[in-house]
Amino acid sequence: MTIFSRISTHRIAASKFAALLIASAFTLVAGVSSAQDLPITPAPEGAKVFIVSPQDGATVEKEFTVVFGLEGMGVAPAGIDFKDTGHHHLLVNQTDLPPAGKPMGNPPIHFGAGQTQTTLTLEPGTHTLQLIMGDKLHIPHEPPVVSSVITVTVK
């Protein structure tokens, strides 16, 4: 199944976004090389991530927007050390969560600039979506802050 996705950048200057992506890539490489030494970020008490839209069971157009919801913690770009924050990661058609204790690879899709929505383009049929938060090093919090899985049908 081919999945096309693109990150919505309308609120971020392209150059700044590129710099953040590069910074994120370096963070990932640095993280992988010393995974055993990585600090684990505790999940803020009561933190909850969810998909605002589309709704579970919705039928959507081929190109559609996914809006991320977050309670009990804040959004910060990757690489930014700020208490009780993280950035969104979207799992599309994944049955397993990323492993705990190390930086997430790809999938999921990273929103390391702090984006709170994206536009997906998916093939007709049924697809699942799930969010997971990651800390400044793209590592899931402990315990992981994960949304319910929703299912959408693309026309």
Contact residues toward Cu ion (CB under 5 A) are: 110, 112, 134, 138
Least distance in angstroms from the C-beta of 13 to Cu ion: 20
Least distance in angstroms from the C-beta of 129 to Cu ion: 17
- Looking at the Cβ atoms of 75 and 152, the one nearer to Cu ion is 75
Say how far apart CA 152 and CA 77 lie, in whole Å. 28
- Looking at the Cβ atoms of 43 and 154, the one nearer to Cu ion is 43
- Looking at the Cβ atoms of 127 and 138, the one nearer to Cu ion is 138
Q: How far is CA 68 from CA 9, 137, 139, 147, in A?
A: 15, 20, 18, 10
Least distance in angstroms from the C-beta of 87 to Cu ion: 5
- What pairs with residue 50 in β-bridges? 69
- Looking at the Cβ atoms of 54 and 112, the one nearer to Cu ion is 112
State which amino acid sits at residue 85: T
- Looking at the Cβ atoms of 54 and 108, the one nearer to Cu ion is 108
Phi, psi of 102 (to 5 degrees): -145, 160
| Angle value at C-alpha 32, between 29 and 38, nearest 5 degrees | 120
Least distance in angstroms from the C-beta of 124 to Cu ion: 29
Strands (E) located in 2-154? 3-6, 48-53, 59-60, 63-71, 74-75, 85-92, 109-110, 117-122, 125-134, 150-154
Least distance in angstroms from the C-beta of 10 to Cu ion: 20
